[in-house]
Chains A and B, each alone.
Chain A
Amino acid sequence: MSPRVVFPNKVLPYLLVAPQLAITLIFFYWPASQAVYQSTLREDPFGLNSKFVWFDNFKRVLSDPGYLNSLQVTAIFSVSTAFVSMAVALLLAVMADKVIKGRGLYRTLMIWPYAVAPAIAGMLWLFLFNPSIGSLAIGLRSLGISWDPLLNGTDAMILVVSAAAWKQISYNFLFFVAGLQAIPKALIEAAAIDGARETKRFWTIVFPLLAPTTFFLLVVNTVYALFDTFGIIHAVTGGGPGRSTETLVYKVYSDGALNQLMGVSAAQSVILMVIVIALTAVQFRYVERKVHYG
């Protein structure tokens, strides 16, 4: 970067960054460092004394079947949510790229769920599909499908994945549409003249050229499924039935806020931090589309 023309003030810049720095130090770095510190402590059951136990909390967490279960739940939940919402969005975006009339209208009608809070999305789906008053659950039952997300773990998982994926379709749709528009039409038309049919053109030209968008969305959707869907789990299933929908973030919350297991909860927080750092690194290392550091 060439040396910029700048203002010569000595004090002003510090005043300008001060609010942001104050907030990050008090509400981000201080609690985060506390989480790291607490993860090495164990409190007695009354919270009166605590002693330093090195990595014992981490050992406990990683050998806890409940934690391994929630790792597995999180993996299933994230992969399914990302896959379903991206697949549906891609299909719709490809279709929207084909039509001539009504493109703008389709887009307008497609972006609503972005504005719906994940927790509300979950509650709407639960309203439609809960076994006692859900109108669509009745439909399922009349088709002979036994369905009860309040008692059956698999059904509960299907419900939360559907709600989480539904909410994310609009976001993915907008990015896929933008990605499709960036593909030079001449390339596709050349293939058409060479006789490649639509399906073939999609898989050999369009899909590979969409790879940067797809990869970017994969990272974003994973982060979404890992963290932003806490509301869905909390509002719809509360991690249940059993522990069939207890994701990692939900477990940190329930161990910490509900069960008051501070050391264990803090150790889980630290593990989550490592996951976020890895994901952010991936995002900025490989998905560096517009952000350049000068």
Chain B
Amino acid sequence: MVETPAAVTPAKATSTAAVLGRKEDGAMLGVSRSSRYIAHVILILGIVIVAFPIYYTFVASTHTLQTILRPPLPLIPGDQFFENYSEALFGGVGRIGGVAVSTLLFNTMVVALAIAIGKIIISILSAYAIVFFRFPFRMVFFWVIFITLMLPVEVRIMPTYKVMSDLGLIDTYTGLTLPLMASATATLLFRQFFLTIPGELVEAARVDGAGPYRFFKDILLPLSRTNIAALFVILFIYGWTQYLWPLLMTNRNDMNTIVIALKKMISFADADTQWHLVMVTSMLAIIPPILVVLLMQRWFVRGLVDTEK
């Protein structure tokens, strides 16, 4: 790292005043101005790497197919924005049986919302039972839920498919969402939070004549609001970005989620991939979860650090 004379070195042992002076502008002691400039440069490079693929997809989504097929693609957006987006959204895409991207967006939105809300409801109820009630097999239930952490879909692909097709749940919203609604992580998180609620609060509620329902509705739910918001962001993205599950659960094109449909639209083997529509679909698949992350950033970061996965 580059150190300039301005940096604090033992040779010019700093006076307390100098130390305080540096602290006032928020800088950390021993970080020189030039190394801070280098930091900015590296961060900007990092952001370019992180943002470029997304930006370039947007650029590609505003050009004609002919322009995309004759690379290199210009770095600035073209003039086909409205044409491409309306064609994809409402016109339908040939490769996926003429299904319009708006249908796919609707499916994905249903799936992501159902999974997020379902997981939260189911988990908060079971955490409530496990923390605020005493009943036989309580800990057995807790472990039964906990162990599901170790059984992701990926390790039981075929038998799960068999169960789903026996139950007639292929190509249904129920099939796409219900099996993913069990959540050990969310249950653990709510349990953790409930354990921090002082017993006196429960006592007081009971003295005032509140039953389990009133306590849950009037005390526990309002207290859990931030946790629920944080979890919602994480789970919405989890639902939106599912891949293996909708791949197994859907055959019909009009039941696909947008991610699966996108995979079906691309082929490198033949030349008829409609890249401009692929790029539009990619953008539409990316924007909703990015908006959720950016608009709910505070809860997102919290939720991420709290759930630790």
Contact = CB atoms under 8 A, between A and B. Distances in A.
A198 B297 contact: no
B244 A20 contact: no
- Chain B interface helix/strand/loop/mixed: helix
Contacts of A25: 144
A53 interface: no
Contacts of A127: 56-57, 60, 275, 278-279
A116 interface: yes
B122 A20 contact: yes
A88 B138 CA distance: 44
B76 interface: no
Interface in B143-197: 144-145, 148-152, 154-163, 178-179, 181-183, 187-188, 192, 195
Nearest to A16: B129
Contacts of B163: 26-27, 30-31, 34
Interface stretch (B67-75, B90-98, B99-107): B67-75
A116 B279 CA distance: 14
Given A95-B39, A134-B71, A135-B56, A123 B133 contact: no
Interface residues of A, number: 114
B9 A195 contact: yes
B243 A118 contact: yes
Interface of A is mostly: helix
Contact of A230 (B156, B187, B244): B244
A189 B22 CA distance: 12
A119 B159 CA distance: 24
B145 A113 contact: no
A117 B243 contact: yes
A118 B195 CA distance: 35
Contacts of A145: none
Contacts of A110: 46-47, 50
B10 A193 contact: yes
Contact of A133 (B71, B149, B263, B285): B71
Size category, B interface: 35 or more
B294 interface: yes
A30, A100, A119, A174 interface centre (most CB from chain B within 10 Å): A119
Contacts of B17: none
B275 A7 contact: no
9 contacts: A2-B199, A4-B202, A6-B134, A12-B129, A88-B49, A111-B294, A130-B268, A192-B8, A235-B262
Interface of B: 1, 3, 8-10, 13-14, 25-31, 35-36, 38-40, 42-43, 46-47, 49-51, 53-54, 56-57, 60, 68-69, 71-73, 122-123, 125-126, 128-135, 138, 141, 144-145, 148-152, 154-163, 178-179, 181-183, 187-188, 192, 195, 199-200, 202-203, 206, 211-212, 215, 237, 240-244, 247-248, 259, 262-263, 266, 268, 275, 278-279, 282, 285-286, 289-290, 292-294, 297, 300-301, 304-306, 308-309
Given A112-B54, A189-B29, 9 more contacts: A96-B43, A126-B268, A127-B275, A197-B1, A234-B247, A235-B262, A252-B155, A276-B155, A291-B308
Interface of A: 1-2, 4-7, 9-10, 12-14, 16-17, 19-21, 23-32, 34-35, 38, 88, 91-92, 95-96, 98-100, 102, 106, 108-121, 123-128, 130, 132-135, 137-139, 150, 166, 169-171, 174-175, 178, 185, 188-189, 191-195, 197-199, 201, 216, 220, 223, 227, 230-231, 234-235, 249, 252-253, 256-257, 262, 265-266, 269, 272-273, 276-277, 280, 289-292, 294
CB-CB nearest 3 A-B residue pairs: A192-B30, A231-B243, A117-B241
